[in-house]
Amino acid sequence: EMLLNGGEEPLLSKPDNIVVDDAGNVLIQEDPGNNALVARIIAYNINSKKVAVVAKFKDEYFVTGGSGFITQDEESSGIVDVSEFLRTGKNDKAKYYLYVAQIHAPAAKSRPDLDTATATWLPQAVEGGQWYVMKIDNWTSIYGG
């Protein structure tokens, strides 16, 4: 059975990586590939067949003309369900996902927190990026009921 046929809203742009959790959620990461679409993580629930956006890069950094524009070439990658390692106890029913943001721009541009001296010696081969832990407490709020 085909779960998604490409016509669902929100439309996907170049789906790249996925993880399927034990609750039947398929999280799909987009890699727009230096196109003017801001990358997202989309969730699809196998049982309800609902689709929703669970994460999105900030427009201010990744839309041309944004106040802190860095690049339009961004993606998230390597999503893993780490709930069994990060739950705080038996009553913690949240889902936890580990993933990385890849910012395809020199670190000096993608790391505004760097001081000028550090930014100058960084080799051009180093790109920006960040590890993230995403916590979802309530899937109903994601899928809208």
Q: Which pLDDT tens digit goes with each residue over 64-74? A: 999 999 999 99
Q: Is residue 8 part of a domain?
A: no
Q: Is residue 122 part of a domain?
A: yes
Across the range 25-37, mean pLDDT stands at: 90
Identify the domain containing residue 106 by its residue range: 15-139
Better-predicted residue by pLDDT, 13 or 84 = 84
Better-predicted residue by pLDDT, 4 or 86 = 86
Pick from 4, 15, 10, 14: nearest CA to 79: 15
Please report the pLDDT score of residue 69 as a whole number: 92
Q: Is residue 3 part of a domain?
A: no
pTM: 0.85
| Distance from C-alpha of 88 to C-alpha of 130, rounded to nearest angstrom | 23
Mean per-residue pLDDT over the chain, rounded: 88
Count of structural domains within the chain: 1
Please report the pLDDT score of residue 26 as a whole number: 96
Return the H-helix or E-strand segment holding 107.
Answer: helix 107-110
